[in-house]
Amino acid sequence: MDTKEKILQVSLKLFARDGYEGVSVRNIAEELGITKGALYKHYENKHDIFDSIIQRMEKMDAQKAKEFDVPVGTFEDAEYDYRNVAFGDIKAFSIKMFKYWTEDEFASNFRKMLTLEQYRNPKMASLLNQYLTGGVIGYAKDLIGESVLNTKNSDKDPEILALEYFAPIYMMMGISDSMENKGAAKEMVEKHIDYFMGNLR
């Protein structure tokens, strides 16, 4: 791992532990065992490091989207794909995303940083909404809404169903942070999904 990458990884780890506002360039340099001057050869300032973290997450997000057998983009852009997604595909996608946000070190630290900073930094709150709350609920609403069109639950509000589906998954992300056995958290999420989908059919 080169120095620039080490700076990025260590910075995000510190931001996840102490919050973005609570970490200085001096703290990052000390953690790495380098001088501030050496750090400035790679990044102009702390905000430059943060921008690089966002760029990395955008790239990782795009790569993840290609891996899953679920629609990409809005319902208006991919109506056919949304209407033909299977319950099994939604479950597989949800489990993989849960593991990604809890077990991938970079993604997990990014989530923790946003969670810590959401109440004091509007940009962090917006990013949390984009990656893990409002944006996910909107996506789940389209996925689940189309999946229940021809079931006994076709009269239910898709947005409420999306909240009922995703809220426990999101809660388990936070709970899993303090669990030594990450597999147990994933199993609980799987049970929730099976129970939820069993009631939809």
Looking at the 3D structure of the chain, how many domains does it have?
A: 2
Are residues 78 and 48 part of one domain? no
Residues 4 and 103 occupy one common structural domain: no
Q: Are 89 and 120 part of one and the same domain?
A: yes
Low-confidence ranges of the chain (pLDDT < 70): 65, 68-87, 145-154, 201
Q: Do 176 and 123 reside in the same domain of the chain? A: yes
- Decide if 68 contacts 138 (C-beta within 8 A): no
The pLDDT of residue 78: 47
Q: What is the spatial distance between Cα 49 and Cα 127, in angstroms, rounded to a whole number? A: 16
Classify burial at 147, counting beta carbons within 10 Å of its beta carbon; exposed 0-12, middle 13-18, buried 19 or more.
buried
Residues 72 and 23 in one domain: no
3-state secondary structure of 24: coil
Token pair 């999306």 is at which residue?
162
In a shared domain, residues 46 and 77: no
pLDDT at 89 (0 to 100): 75
Q: What is the largest CA-CA distance in the chain?
A: 64
Task: Check whether residue 172 and residue 80 sit in a common domain.
Answer: yes
Q: Of 27, 52, 77, which one is at a domain's C-terminal end?
A: 52
Say which CATH number the domain at 4 has. Answer: 1.10.10.60
In a domain, residue 57? The reply is no
Are 74 and 153 contained in the same domain?
A: yes
Task: Clarify whether residues 116 and 190 are in a common domain.
Answer: yes
Do the beta carbons of residue 172 and residue 187 sit within 8 Å?
no
pLDDT digits (tens, 9 = 90+) for 109-158: 999 999 999 999 999 999 999 999 888 888 777 777 666 555 555 677 88
Domain that includes residue 12, residue range? 1-52
Q: Are residues 167 and 98 in the same domain?
A: yes
